[in-house]
Structure 1
Amino acid sequence: MPDFGLVLLAAGRGTRFGPAPKLLGLLDGEPLVRHAARAALDARLGPVVVVLGAHGPAVRAALGGLSVIFIENPAHAEGLSTSLRAGLAALPQPEAVLVLLADMPRIGPHHLQALVQAFSQPGPAPAAVVPVHAGQRGNPVLLNRRLLAAELAALTGDRGAGRLLARRTDIREVALDPAVLQDVDTPAALAELV
């Protein structure tokens, strides 16, 4: 069984949400980022690294009492790729890493476990496992570091692994529920989840 680690990307500014930090927006009485962190921890798959940036102190406070590893991304303003690289660097051992977005509060442990189950099937290991709903790829994703190391290290800008995965044929897809497409970018999107 391969080793797994989890990276929760929580460094963005969330400018479309308005003046208040998006990840502190409340859903069911808890900040969005806490929902995501609890899902990662409750999956019990490996260590959870939270990448902090624009609102680091506030996000750290919102996750108080949770057994996560915090790392700061001083280059967060350069885009999502820098946070992904920082999170992966903080987990040097695991063969595969699950990457979660902190603004997807409806992701639960079962989503993460389904990705791991698909990755662990017999046969050649895929470069990644991605969730799909209604024909559309979503998040979180599971990345095979052994097969993607060079490509992940070369990522730049404000995009994650999606563009490099789009070029590969060794991706395993898993059909999951609509939560894998539900991120919160605006107050209206948050209100729709209530």
Structure 2
Amino acid sequence: MAESSATDPGPDAPGTRTDIPAPAIAGLLLAAGGGRRLGGRPKALLPHRGRPLVEHAARALRDGGCAPVHVVLGAAEEEVRERAELPGCVLVGNPHWAEGMGSSLRAGLASLSPHTPPDAPLSRPPLHPPFGTTPPGPGPGAHGTAPYEVTAVVVALVDQPGVGAEAVARVRAAFRSRTSLAAAAYDGRRGHPVLFGAAHWAAVADRAVGDRGARAYLAEHHDALELVDCSGIASPGDIDTPEDLHRLNGGS
């Protein structure tokens, strides 16, 4: 029978740390846009393969290895909540969505911050079980999951259906620490998804204004930014016009 030494008290001894947070890389989907050039059709609800775009984009984050997945809603928020099936996602309402992408990025980062109280008005709990798994949550989970700390986030846009789980996974794999900064690149040009280590969040939020999102911050930190080539596995085209939507759904 093995004996415990005085210097090795074992995992169940008093004072042994069993609550050290496990690192988590979240997904953040910006899906609040009102589709002004699409006649005011909310981008989250644009049709693609018989389902709203927001469902495809959220699944790409989940299947790419991100958890939890937070989805920022704005235009037609209640309709999106009613029509879209987003199991396991945390839905974040952004009442200032009309100010541009920057406001949605700020709202999403705030919802992931450990300093945001669980009853904060911007964040709502998951509505359904996740895609076949139990999402992590603050503190011990309902099924004994460990406490976690979100150490980085992969940010994606709802109107880029050509960016799938493979690109998400490739960018996610660039994570090294809370100071990591990485972005997908297409033929050498920076695009989405973008990974922000948690050490960047406050400064990113400070600079996120209008429709520029994090572009200014990324430009200022280009020396620290790792570009992850996704040219052969994804297409970064946006859905901004009726012509874009027509092509997406099989038009020539």
- State TM-score, norm by structure 1: 0.88
1:17 partnered with 2:38: yes
- CA distance in structure 2 between the aligned counterparts of 1:52 and 1:138, rounded to whole angstroms: 21
* Alpha-carbon distance change, 108 to 151 in structure 1, aligned in 2, over 3 angstroms: closer
Residue in 1 that maps onto 2:57 = 36
Q: Bigger relative contact order, structure 1 or 2, given CA contacts below 8 A and separation 6+?
A: 1
Tell me the number of residue pairs that the alignment of Structure 1 and Structure 2 aligns: 191
Residue 185 in structure 1 maps to residue 206 in structure 2: no
Structure 2 unaligned blocks of 5 or more = 1-21, 114-148
5 Å-filtered alignment, 1:65-84, equals: 66-84=87-105
Which of the two has higher C-alpha Rg? Answer: 2
Contact in 1 for aligned 2:33/2:42 (Cα 8 Å)? no
1:150-169 matches, cutoff 5 A: 150-168=203-221, 169=223
For the residue of structure 2 that corresponds to 1:104, the secondary structure is coil
Residues 136-178 of structure 1: CA deviation (Å, up to 9, x unaligned) = 1111111112145224334222221122101111000011036
Aligned partner of 2:243: which letter? A
1:94 aligned counterpart, secondary structure: strand
Distance 2:205 2:40 in 1: 32
- Tell whether the 8 Å contact from 1:81 to 1:160 is kept in structure 2 after alignment: yes
Aligned counterparts, 1:44-55, within 5 A: 44-55=65-76
Indicate the residue corresponding to 1:115 in structure 2: 171
Q: Distance in 2 between matches of 1:20 and 1:117?
A: 34
Query: What are the residue-to-residue correspondences of 1:115-134 with 2, within 5 Å?
Result: 115-120=171-176, 127-134=180-187
Answer yes or no: is the 8 Å Cα contact 1:139–1:180 preserved in 2: no
Identity %: 40
Give 1:170's match in structure 2, choosing from 199, 202, 224.
Answer: 224
2:28 aligned partner = 7
More helix by share: 1
Determine the C-alpha separation between the residues in 1 that align with 2:201 and 2:68. 20
Code of the residue aligned with 1:77 in structure 2: it is A
After superposition, the C-alpha distances for 1:65-85 in whole angstroms (9 at most, x for unaligned) are 522111111111222111111
Secondary structure class of the residue paired with 2:192: coil
Find the aligned partners of 2:59 and 2:204 in 1 and give their Cα distance.
Answer: 29
Residue deviations 1:44-63 (CA, integer Å, cap 9, x gap): 32111111111211222232
User: For the residues of structure 1 that align with 2:188 and 2:231, how far apart are their CA atoms?
Assistant: 11
